[in-house]
Amino acid sequence: MESKSFPGTVDSLDALREYIGELSQQAGLAKKPTYSLKLAVDEIATNIILYGYQEPGIEADFQVLSEIKDDKLVVILEDIAAPFDPLAKELPNAQDLTLSLEERGIGGLGIFLTINGVDEFSYEYADGKNRNKFVMKIAAT
């Protein structure tokens, strides 16, 4: 697996999306799945940075592991913050998504977009690390 480190601050998000763009290009992903993957990784990385690192005052990097295997692009975000399973959070349901802006709560949309945008999303906590895994299928050309 390829690995790259980013400082755990919101200033890293721009470079992170650019890197995800490069990986997607290497994998031959089309424009729309590339955007969806960038969005998904950005959303999870934002949660890691703001709530995993900044809120408790942890200064640390997070890692992006990646590989292209069996017609799939696999990207894993790894961080050393406290265990946090994004899938354990309640997502907005169909009814929430019909609410007007005045009635909306502001949480949950990022994780909803993450799960909605990638082919597979999974989470595990192992060896003191959160591992958020994103899988995109590479369409045959």
Beta bridge partner(s), residue 123: 132
Residue 139 sits in the site that holds other proteins (CB under 8 A): no
Residue 17 sits in the site that holds other proteins (CB under 8 A): yes
Residue 64 sits in the site that holds other proteins (CB under 8 A): no
Q: How far is it, in rounded angstroms, from Cα 85 to Cα 95?
A: 24
Pick 67 or 96: Cβ nearer other proteins: 96
Binding residues for other proteins, rule: CB under 8 A, are 10-11, 13-14, 17, 31-32, 35, 38-39, 42-43, 46, 49-50, 92, 97-102, 104, 106, 109-110, 112-113, 116
